[in-house]
Amino acid sequence: MTTRTAISTLSRQRILSAWLFLAPMLVVLAAVALYPLARTIYFGFTDASIDFTSEAQWIGFRNYLEYLDYGDGEGEYFGLLADEGWWSAVWNTLRFTVTSVFFETVFGLVIALVLNTSFKGRALVRAAVLIPWAIPTIVSAKMWAWMMHDQFGILNDMLIRLHLISDPIAWTASPDTAMIAVMMVDIWKTTPFMALLILAGLQMVPADIYEAAKLDGVNPVRLFRKVTLPLIMPAVLVAVVFRALDALRVFDIVYVLTPNNDRTRTMSVFARENLFDFDKFAYGSAASTLLFLIVALLTISFIYATRMNVEADE
């Protein structure tokens, strides 16, 4: 046996061993994720009801878009893609995602820069910063719901004492402030996650660069803009993409803080309401499928763009 043949045989054995180790995980993943996803996509093309899924009939794209011809040269489009409620949910989701991720990135970057410096009690501060992220989302939402209550919430009391407002605000009930309230809670909870990822990127920056910059008398602002930010940009982009993909699927905060509110209804809430509350199981499945496609396309685009950047650097 030649050396090349021996190496080839060893490589095949390692690949086979790797697949054998991955097999249990792949089986479990297919059972808990792939099969339910396939069933959801299938139900989106049927007239299924939640109580009679076994009797579902295939109807094609009628849940997504159907043209009803009245026979007099006029007609009307029905279905998810012609539903104003769905497009309102899409707009609410995009507005929530862009705004919350922007502020979480900015605040996370500031916190990461502070935590990256040396000071007494830094370990304690790092642990304390992670507390909002560690609290379960439902608990955070209920806690903030009481804090923002218009009658006895502490937030209104503080703002009135500071003379910033004259009358209590119904943060979660008013259409003008409901989305702001949801964003506030989400930013408070998820900023530590962004700070943690950005801090990991800062830890990878060589200390020699900062020592050389100090010797050259480089301004701190210029040092951050020209050196630190470009070096941690890959970590920032990963954090932004991860957080954006998660924000597009937001459900629990919205559902707890502002139920049945058209101004804050997101795609996930829209799908859930149609699946279970309105007894439109097939329609809700179609909405869930579109949500999955949006998230999947963004994920694939990010992976492709990242691969192109790596190849360009090489």
Residue with tokens 């054998």: 20
pTM metric for this prediction: 0.85
Q: Which residues contact 160 (CB under 8 A, 6 or more apart)?
A: 166, 168
Chain segment 3-62, per-residue pLDDT in tens: 566 556 767 888 888 888 889 988 898 888 888 889 999 999 999 888 887 888 898 889
Q: Per CATH, the architecture of 84-278 is what?
A: Orthogonal Bundle (1.10)
Q: Is pLDDT of 192 > 90?
A: yes
Supply 156's token pair.
């209104």
Q: Is pLDDT of 94 > 90?
A: yes
**CB of 275 closer than 8 Å to CB of 288:** yes
**CB of 181 closer than 8 Å to CB of 258:** yes
Domain ranges of the chain: 3-43, 84-278
Which of these, 92, 104, 47, lies nearest to 241 by C-alpha position?
104
Pick left, alpha or beta for residue 250 (phi over 0 → left; psi -120 to 50 → alpha; otherwise beta).
beta
Looking at the chain, the whole-number percentage of residues with pLDDT higher than 70 is: 91
pLDDT band at 265 (very low <50, low <70, confident <90, very high): very high
**CB of 258 closer than 8 Å to CB of 220:** no
